[in-house]
Amino acid sequence: MKPRSIAVVGAAETTRLGKIPDMSVIGLHADAALNAMADCGLTAKDIDGVATAGESPTNIAHYLGITPTWADGTQVGGCSFMLHVRHAAAAINEGLCKTVLITHGESGRSRVGGGGGFGRAPASLMGQFEMPFGVTSPPTMFTIPVMRYLKARGYTETDLAMVAVIQREWAAMNPRASFRTPITVDDVLNSPMIAWPFRMLMCCLVTDGGGALILTSAERAKDFPTKPVYILGTGESVETPLVSQMEDFTSSKAFRVSGKKAFDEAGISHADVDHLMIYDAFAHLPLYGLEDLGFCKPGEAAGFIADRNTAPGGKLPLNTNGGGLSYMHSGMYGMYALQESVRQMRGIAPAQVPGAKVAVSHGVGGMFAASGTIIFSNEA
């Protein structure tokens, strides 16, 4: 921490304290936040960083109308907000964001509308405005925008199927992949219907596993026995906890904000990218990712994949471990995308991209709720 580099400019509590039976937890967060913004003359449009505990930063950002380039949901108990201040200071100094809002709200006495966060309790926003209509798990939520996307882009079920087919080609080269037997578009389109237009082979598998990473300064990295994999750029954003409330069903705002920030930080162009990972919980994710990260113009991603640009031997190798569709998917697959990026940068991947120097790892959280992008290089 650099002393005196960061200051608090707005501070406020909720309008009332004590017994507030007419406000829910997220309402208390919002009341305090609006008061703090009024205290220093800002609106939600001026805020680009959000930290909170108890509620998720995605919920707070969307409820207030904030588009963040930094979000922190660190929850370690009552001192979480001290940690948020420290993390926010580092983020601002590092240029990840400029103006951070840290919120707290708790209906400790009246117990109104708790259970928000990542939960689906009946009083949460998801519990009230999505659960009553029969959503179950990601196959009936992450897929909700896709019919609109297909119509807007002129894509078809075959385009979704092709994503799974080509990723299986990569998986076939990877001894650790769960599914390695080649498949055809017909195989995908004849697999069991899960939730129209999604069939089983368009959905990620469900497996057990884990991963871990260790980071240090580039200076110290030279002393390690492993080949250093440097971080060139990073991005993150959150949009909404409710897939039904996405601003645009044909594009993820969180993807666009996160990807642009990472590319800007890294100072590279798309042509510099040798290897790409796009978290593929479902077959439509690589299509959205290629477009929202700017590798393809809207409407060109399906053709880009069908023309084998992302396949083995193509100019932009994508999801070279086989992805969530064929390699593994434990539930929070982002770790495996990062692991494959690191392997590719170290030059030790089972399906190694020869001479790869720059790798992009792009992840999604929730149902288009959040996004993170990391750009790696093996050159100092």
Partner 1 sequence: MDRALPQPTPETQHFWDGCKVGELRLQRCAACAQTYFPPRPFCPACGSRSVEVYVASGKGVLWSYVINHRPRPDMGTEPHSIAVVKLKEGPTMMTNIVGCPQTPEALQLDMPVEVTFETFGAMALPLFKPAGA
Which of residues 6, 10, 12, 44 is near partner 1 by CB under 8 A? Answer: 44
Site residues for partner 1, window 88-117 (CB under 8 A)? 112-113
Q: Is residue 151 a contact point for partner 1 (CB under 8 A)?
A: yes
Q: Is residue 125 a contact point for partner 1 (CB under 8 A)?
A: yes
For residues 245 and 227, give the distance between their C-alpha atoms in angstroms, rounded to a whole number: 43
Site residues for partner 1, window 182-211 (CB under 8 A)? 192-198
Q: Which residues contact 92 (CB under 8 A, 6 or more apart)?
A: 5, 6, 49, 98, 100
3-state SS class at 94: helix
Which of residues 130, 236, 239, 280 is near partner 1 by CB under 8 A? Answer: 130
Q: Is residue 132 a contact point for partner 1 (CB under 8 A)?
A: yes
Which of residues 77, 134, 313, 355 is near partner 1 by CB under 8 A? Answer: 134
Residue whose CB is less far from partner 1, 49 or 113: 113
- The least distance separating partner 1 from the CB of residue 12, rounded to whole angstroms, comes to 14
Interacting span for partner 1 (CB under 8 A) from 50-58, 146-154, 261-269, 290-298: 146-154
Site residues for partner 1, window 232-261 (CB under 8 A)? 242, 244-246, 249
Q: Got the DSSP string for 309-354?
A: SSSTTSSS-B-TT-HHHHT---S-THHHHHHHHHHHHHT--TT--T
- The least distance separating partner 1 from the CB of residue 203, rounded to whole angstroms, comes to 11
For residues 96 and 48, give the distance between their C-alpha atoms in angstroms, rounded to a whole number: 9
| Short-list 86, 67, 204, CA closest to 143 | 204
For 223-256, give one letter per residue: b (16+ CB within 10 A) or e: eeeeebbeebbbbbbbbbbbbeebeebbbbbbbb
For residues 237 and 261, give the distance between their C-alpha atoms in angstroms, rounded to a whole number: 9
- Return residues touching partner 1 (CB under 8 A): 21-24, 27, 30, 34, 37, 43-44, 62-65, 112-113, 121-123, 125, 127-136, 139-140, 143-149, 151, 192-198, 242, 244-246, 249
